[in-house]
Structure 1
């Protein structure tokens, strides 16, 4: 019995207005798809002088592994360098959980990480 191929990542680009690019992600952002994601998302950040906001619509996002997280961090870095705002809209709970676990939630979304319970000195 053969294993089913992983679901593809479909990327749909739309313009809300001349200054806003929206990219809808449907499928997994992982080792196999992160290269195509970056090849699609980075050029507008580098080539479009009037771009002000990049919106990533994550409603259809399935799995996001470490390569997918690295790709999101690369997009954040390039967006910041280009003075373009980055929004991760409609994030599934599993993506927020990954961002919380890795300490990247605030960096990628601007939302503060949830408060961690404090422990007494000398206790783990």
Structure 2
């Protein structure tokens, strides 16, 4: 299987927060791109980062290491969003779920059954 190139879409949400939306594989070859993109938005004054991983197909140990680098930089908080069940399991097993702020995923298989009585 051919690796997917990583694309990073940066959205500046307000004066202090930026969202980095990742699509593709976050691995040894592409993790430095995430670190560089985060450094760039932080240099612009956006200290708080939301890293949206909804489009990430693969995340290896280099990707996990990049999350640690971003969070340990002391420049501002880092929150992971769009974390797949597989990546959440990896974060749990490595203990990084306790170190990193991870947004809870809404239950997608729950269906509200609303009936009108009358």
What is the TM-score with the length of structure 1 in the denominator? 0.75
CA distance in 1: counterparts of 2:65 and 2:44, whole angstroms: 23
The alignment status of 1:56 with 2:51, answered yes or no, reads: yes
Matches within 5 A, 1:1-124: 5-45=2-42, 47-49=43-45, 51-78=46-73, 81-82=74-75, 84-109=76-101
Structure 2 unaligned spans of 5+? 104-118
SS of equivalent residue, structure 1 residue 38? helix
What is the TM-score with the length of structure 2 in the denominator? 0.79
Structure 1 unaligned spans of 5+? 112-124
CA distance in 2: counterparts of 1:110 and 1:91, whole angstroms: 8
SS of equivalent residue, structure 2 residue 2? coil
CA distance in 2: counterparts of 1:48 and 1:73, whole angstroms: 21
Q: How many residues align?
A: 103
